[in-house]
Every structure is written in structure tokens, then in C-alpha cells.
């Protein structure tokens, strides 16, 4: 079984937010450091899982930082967020390689007929031969990237101690959640642009930001918050798969001349487009359902849950 890299422990609703938020960020940074150290590059499946988990931790940190925007020094927030973004980008190519290979296999499994399945298998062979990184791993280069990310994450962890979170409180976090929800809501209450790749990509980032911001609040009202996270995650997953298929489509197009003789170019492009349309419609449908409540209502619900949970939660000291 693939070992899962856990997320940071959610905030305790009975403890000061100014203490719990930096603790969550610190925990996530430690997970990044651990993910870069726990598996060697030749342990491909486990290393791939760890890299994806590290990237998710970095995204969660940026989302948590968005929750405290206005409560700590703006330059400090921007610097920390930028550092996490850059670390995620360093790991991006390693993640994309594994995703492309996985997508090719899923396209073959989900093909609309035996002929398309055979064509995709042939096209995949040609694509792999044309793109060595899909089948041959440069372990030394990969180890260097992961080592640098782990080292930089440790530096960020040390720098975190100098940030002042004294201005962060429950009201600020709720205001930022409200703002994030409103930014997501308008994407699904206005016209859904299923043909606009950049718009869809930005929508995906907004949805992921909401999902990652809700995770630290899980202990406030576990069942309901988890339900919200699950609903938002389904939208993000659909949009994420669509984005990955866009990357695959670009890769196929860049090797079109090499794939012509092998046949199957039309088949693989047809299957990619069919799957992308299904995913976009799924995201639109789920988005309209999930964001049926207003941002004001979401804020009021979470605030009420938080106050109730704070009364029940034992305080330290």
C-alpha cells in the first residue's frame, strides 16, 4: 500500500488563532521537508506520491497565508507565499511526468471502443519513444531538485519564526473565507466558460484555494466542514484532470509528425477532447450545486460553528 503523507493538524477552535495559524504553517513545512527526504528517486511510486503531497502542502500554506492577509506584514506574507510557490514549481516537472504517464494509461482504459484503444496504445508507444523523460528517469537530476526543495523549505521554516501573527484573529480568518467563497461562487453563477482554458485554470486555482483554506478549520465542525471540503475537492479534481489533459494534448501536438506513421493521432486527440468535455460539464454541474449558498451565509455558518466549538474545546494553560 502506498504510504500517505498526512496534512497538518487542524486548528484547535479553543486556542488563539494567532498561535494556531503559524503552527499549521510550520507543520505543513515540516511535511514538505519530510517528503523530500523519505524516499529515494528509484522508489518511483512512493517518491511520486511524496512529491504530490509536498506540492499540496505548499498549496495549503499559500491558502492559509491568504486567510491572514491583512493581519501580518504584507511583505512578509508575499515573500513567504512566493517562496512556497517557487518550491512547488521546482517539483512541478517531476509531478507532470508521472501524471502524463498515468493519463495515457487511463485514456486507453476508458477509450470509447477497441479500435481507439489500440490506436492510443500505439500512439503512446511512439510518444514515449519521442519523449524519453516519460520512460527514462534521470535519478541524479531528480535527487538534486528534491534536495534543493527540502533545503529551501527548511530555510523558510526557520524564517517563519520572525513573522508577527499578533494581528490575526477569528474575524479576520472568517472575512477571508467569505472573500474566497465569493470569488469561487461568481465562477459558477455567471456563464461557465467551458471553452476558455485560461479561465478554467484560474477557476481551478480559486477552488483549490477554498479547499485548502477549509482544511485547517475541520475541527470546528468536523462532519459539515469535511462535507464542504469533499464537495469543493470534487470540483477541483474535475478541473485538475481537465488541466492535465490539456498538458497531454499539447505534448501530443508537439510530436504530431512523429506519430503520423504510427497512426492513432486522431483517436488520441478525440479521446482527450471527449474526456475534457465530460470533465468540464461535471465541474460546472458540481460547482452550481456546491456554491448555491451565498458567501455571507457561509461566513455566518462557520462563525456560529466556531463559537460553539470554542466553548467545548479545552484550552491550554
- Cell reading at 136: 527514462
What's the pLDDT at 3? 45
Query: Each residue of 259-269: pLDDT tens digit?
Result: 555 556 677 77
With H, G, I as helix, E, B as strand and everything else as coil, classify residue 137: coil
Report the pLDDT averaged over residues 273-301: 93
Sign, Cα dihedral of 133, 136, 140, 142: positive
Residue 146 pLDDT greater than 90, yes or no? no
State the Cα angle at 20 between 177 and 76, rounded to 5°.
Answer: 75
The overall average pLDDT reported for the chain is 82
What is the predicted pLDDT for the residue at 136? Answer: 44
* Cα gap 144→173, rounded to integer Å: 37
Three-state SS at 195 = coil
Percent of the chain with pLDDT over 70: 75
Q: What are phi and psi of 69, to 5 degrees?
A: -60, 125
In this predicted model, what pLDDT tens digit does every residue of 185-244 receive, in sequence order?
A: 999 987 788 888 889 999 999 999 999 999 999 999 999 999 999 999 999 999 998 888
For the segment 85-127, what is each residue's pLDDT rounded down to a tens digit? 999 888 877 766 666 666 666 666 766 667 666 666 666 665 5
Map out the domains of the chain with their CATH numbers.
Answer: 17-298 (1.40.20.10)
- pTM more than 0.85: no
Residue 74 has pLDDT above 70, yes or no: yes
Nearest to 52 by CA among 8, 103, 95: 95
Amino acid at each position: 500500500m502506498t504510504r500517505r503523507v498526512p496534512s497538518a493538524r487542524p486548528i484547535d477552535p479553543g486556542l488563539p488563532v494567532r498561535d494556531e495559524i503559524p503552527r499549521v504553517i510550520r507543520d505543513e513545512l515540516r511535511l514538505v521537508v519530510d517528503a523530500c527526504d523519505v524516499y529515494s528517486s528509484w522508489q518511483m511510486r512512493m517518491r511520486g506520491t511524496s512529491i504530490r503531497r509536498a506540492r499540496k502542502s505548499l498549496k495549503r500554506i499559500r491558502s492559509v497565508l491568504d486567510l491572514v492577509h491583512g493581519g501580518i506584514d504584507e511583505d512578509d506574507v508575499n515573500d513567504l507565499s512566493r517562496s512556497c510557490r517557487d518550491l512547488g514549481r521546482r517539483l512541478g516537472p517531476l509531478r507532470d511526468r508521472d501524471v502524463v504517464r498515468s493519463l495515457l494509461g487511463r485514456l486507453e482504459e476508458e477509450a470509447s471502443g477497441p479500435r481507439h484503444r489500440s490506436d492510443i496504445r500505439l500512439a503512446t508507444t511512439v510518444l514515449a519513444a519521442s519523449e524519453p523523460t516519460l520512460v527514462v528517469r534521470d535519478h541524479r537530476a531528480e535527487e538534486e531538485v528534491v534536495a534543493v526543495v527540502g533545503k529551501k523549505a527548511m530555510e523558510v521554516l526557520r524564517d517563519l519564526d520572525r513573522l508577527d501573527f499578533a494581528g490575526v484573529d477569528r474575524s479576520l480568518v472568517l472575512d477571508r473565507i467569505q472573500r474566497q467563497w465569493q470569488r469561487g461562487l461568481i465562477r459558477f453563477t455567471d456563464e461557465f466558460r467551458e471553452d476558455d482554458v485560461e479561465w478554467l485554470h484560474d477557476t481551478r486555482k480559486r477552488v483549490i484555494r477554498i479547499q485548502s483554506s477549509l482544511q485547517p478549520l475541520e475541527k470546528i465542525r468536523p462532519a459539515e466542514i469535511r462535507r464542504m471540503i469533499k464537495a469543493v475537492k470534487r470540483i477541483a479534481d474535475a478541473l485538475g484532470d481537465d488541466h492535465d489533459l490539456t498538458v497531454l494534448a499539447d505534448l501530443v501536438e508537439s510530436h504530431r509528425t512523429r506519430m503520423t506513421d504510427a497512426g492513432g493521432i486522431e483517436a488520441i486527440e478525440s479521446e482527450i477532447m471527449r474526456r475534457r468535455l465530460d470533465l468540464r460539464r461535471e465541474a460546472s454541474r458540481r460547482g452550481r450545486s456546491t456554491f448555491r449558498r451565498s458567501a455571507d451565509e457561509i461566513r455566518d455558518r462557520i462563525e456560529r460553528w466556531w463559537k460553539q466549538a470554542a466553548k467545548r474545546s479545552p484550552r491550554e494553560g
